[in-house]
Structure 1
Amino acid sequence: MNHSAHNGEKPAHAHGDHGASRHTGHSTALFFRKFWVSLVLTIPVVLYADVIEKVFKWSPPEFPGLAYMPLLFGSIVFFYGGWVFLVGAWREIQARLPGMMTLIGIAISAAYFWSIYAVFAGEEALFWELTTLITIMLLGHWLEMRAVSGARGALKELSKLLPDTAEVIRNGKTEMIALSELRENDMILVRPGSKIPADGKIIDGESNVNESMVTGESKPVSKKDGDSVIAGTINGDGALKISVASIGEKTFLAGVMRLVAEAQASKSRLQILSDRAAFYLTVVAITGGVVTLFAWLAAGAEIGFAVARLVAVLVIACPHALGLAVPLVASISTTKAAQNGFLVKQRIALEAARTIDTVLFDKTGTLTKGEFGVVNIWNIQGNTKDEVLGLAASLDALSEHPIAKAVVIKAQEQKIFLKEPKKFEVLKGKGVRAFIEEKEVFVGGPALLESMEIKIPAELSQQVEDGGKKGQTIIFIVKDRALLGAMALADIIREESREAIRALKDKGIHTTMITGDSEDVAKWVSQELGIDEYFARVLPHQKSERVKELQNRNLKVAMIGDGINDAPALTQADLGVAIGAGTNVAIESAGIILVRNDPRDIVKIIKLSKMTYSKMIQNLFWATGYNVVALPLAAGAFAFKGILLQPALAAVFMSFSTIIVAINAVLLKNKTLK
Structure 2
Amino acid sequence: MENHHEHHGGEDHAGHQAPQTLPGQATSVASPPTDHAGHAHQQHGAQDDDHAVHSHGQHAGHSTAMFKNRFWLTLVLSVPVVYFSPMVGHLLGYMPPAFPGSTWIPAVLGTVIFLYGGQPFLKGGVQELKNRQPGMMLLIAMAITVAFAASWVTTLGIGGFDLDFWWELALLVAIMLLGHWIEMRALGSAQGALDALAALLPDEAERVTGSGTETLPVSELREGDIVLVRSGARMPADGTVVEGQAEFDESMITGESKTVPRAPGDSVVAGTVATDNTVRVQVTAVGENTALAGIQRLVAEAQASSSRAQALADRAAAFLFYFAAGAGLITFIVWALLGSVPEAVTRTVTVLVIACPHALGLAIPLVIAISTEQAARAGVLIKNRMALERMRTIDVVLFDKTGTLTTGEPDLKDIAAVADGDTDRLLALAAAVESDSEHPVARAIVRAARQRNLTIPDATGFSSLTGRGVRATIDGRTVHVGGPALLRELGAVEPEPLARSTRTWMDRGAAVLHVIDGNTILGAVSLEDAIRPESRQAVAALQNRGIKVAMITGDARQVAQAVAEELNIDEVFAEVLPADKDKKVAELQGRGLKVAMVGDGVNDSPALARAEVGIAIGAGTDVAMESAGVVLAGNDPRAVLSMVDLSRASYRKMWQNLIWATGYNVLSVPLAAGVVAFAGVVLSPAAGAVLMSVSTIVVALNAQLLRRVKLNPAQVR
After TM superposition, is the score higher than 0.5?
yes
Match of 1:327 in 2: 365
Q: 2:593 aligns with which of 533, 555, 566?
A: 555
Q: Provide the residue aligned with 2:115 in structure 1.
A: 79
Question: For 2:575, what is the secondary structure of its paired residue?
Answer: coil
Name the residue aligned to 2:129.
Answer: 93
- Partner Cα separation in structure 1 for residue 477 and residue 457 of structure 2: 17
**1:421 aligned counterpart, secondary structure:** strand
Percent identity over the alignment is 48
SS at match of 1:10: helix
For 2:173 and 2:322, the matched residues in 1 are separated by 22
Aligned in 2, Cα 1:646/1:343: closer, same or farther, shift over 3 Å? same
Which residue, out of 416, 420, 435, partners 2:456?
Answer: 416
**1:458-607 to 2 correspondences below 5 Å:** 458-607=496-645
Q: 1: distance between equivalents of 2:701 and 2:45?
A: 21
Q: Aligned to 2:377, which of 318, 336, 339?
A: 339
Name the counterpart of 1:221: 260
Cα separation, 1, equivalents of 2:101 and 2:389: 61
Q: 1:451 deviation in Å?
A: 5.3
How much does 1:344 deviate?
Answer: 1.0
Q: Which one of the candidate residues 48, 57, 62 is aligned to 2:98?
A: 62
What secondary structure, in the 3-state scheme, does the structure 2 residue paired with 1:360 have? Answer: strand
Q: Structure 2 CA distance, aligned partners of 1:433 and 1:254?
A: 45
Aligned counterpart in structure 1 of residue 200 of structure 2, from 161, 168, 176: 161
Q: Deviations over 1:82-124 (max 9, x none)?
A: 1121111112222222111111111111222233334341312
Q: Give 1:358's aligned amino acid.
A: V
Would the aligned equivalents of 2:552 and 2:576 in 1 still touch at CA under 8 Å? yes
Residue 608 of structure 2 aligns to which amino acid in structure 1?
L
The Cα of 1:457 is off from its aligned counterpart by 1.9
Residue number in structure 1 paired with 2:217: 178
Count of equivalent residues: 671
- The equivalent position to 2:669 in structure 1, one of 628, 631, 636, is 631
Give 2:45's aligned residue: 10
- Give 3-state SS (helix, strand or coil) of 1:633's partner: helix
Change in CA separation of 1:405 and 1:80 when aligned onto 2, cut-off 3 Å: closer
Q: Which residue of 1 aligns with 2:323?
A: 284
Q: Is the 8 A contact 1:32 1:142 kept in 2?
A: yes
Supply the distance in 2 between the matched residues of 1:534 and 1:491 (Cα, whole angstroms). 17
Separation of aligned partners in 1, 2:404 and 2:422: 34
Deviations 1:236-286 (A, max 9, x none): 121121222222222222222211111111123222211111111112212
- Cα shift at 1:427: 5.4
Unmatched segments (≥5 aa) in structure 2: 1-35
Deviation at 1:366, TM superposition (A): 0.8
User: What is the 5 A alignment of 1:301-312?
Assistant: 301-302=340-341, 304-312=342-350
AA paired with 2:460?
A: E
Change (3 A) 1:513 1:655: same
What SS is found at the alignment partner of 1:624?
helix
Is the Cα–Cα contact under 8 Å of residues 152 and 332 in structure 1 kept in the other structure? no
Structure 2: how far apart are the matches of 1:425 and 1:182? 39
Q: Is contact 1:260-1:343 (8 Å) kept?
A: yes
> Structure 1 residues 415, 243: CA separation in 2 closer, same or farther (over 3 Å shift)?
farther
Is the partner of 2:460 in helix, strand or coil? coil
Q: TM-score, normalised by structure 1?
A: 0.93
Q: Is contact 2:432–2:456 with CA below 8 Å preserved after alignment?
A: no
Per-residue deviation, residues 69-92 of structure 1 (Å, max 9, x unmatched): 433232222112111211111122
Q: What letter matches 2:248 in structure 1?
A: V
Report deviation, 1:199: 1.8
The more displaced of 35-44 and 609-618 is: 35-44
CA distance in 2, matches of 1:588, 1:96: 36
* Equivalent residue in structure 1 for 2:701, among 633, 654, 663: 663
Change (3 A) 1:411 1:332: same
> Residue 138 of structure 2 corresponds to which residue in structure 1?
102
CA shift digits 1:146-190 (9 cap, x unpaired) = 333445445422222222222222232223223333333322222
Where relative contact order (Cα < 8 A, 6+ residues apart) is larger, the structure is 2
Distance 1:400 1:280, change over 3 A: same
Matches within 5 A, 1:643-654: 643-654=681-692
Alignment check: 8 A CA contact 2:401 2:551 kept: yes
Which residue number in structure 1 is paired with residue 30 of structure 2? none
Residue 380 of structure 1: CA displacement?
A: 0.8
Question: Equivalent residues in 2 for 1:324-403 (5 A)?
Answer: 324-381=362-419, 384-393=422-431, 395-396=433-434, 402-403=440-441
Shift of 1:577: 0.9
- Provide closer, same or farther for how the CA distance between residues 310 and 4 of structure 1 changes in structure 2, counting only shifts above 3 A: farther
- 1:642-667 CA-to-partner distances (Å, cap 9, x unmatched) read 21211111111111111111122223
Mapped partners of 1:174, 1:195: distance in 2: 17
**Which residue number corresponds to residue 245 of structure 1?**
284
Higher mean displacement: 23-32 or 552-561? 23-32
Q: Give the alignment's Cα RMSD to 1 decimal.
A: 2.7
Counterpart contact for 2:395–2:594, Cα < 8 Å:
yes
SS of the residue aligned with 2:558?
helix
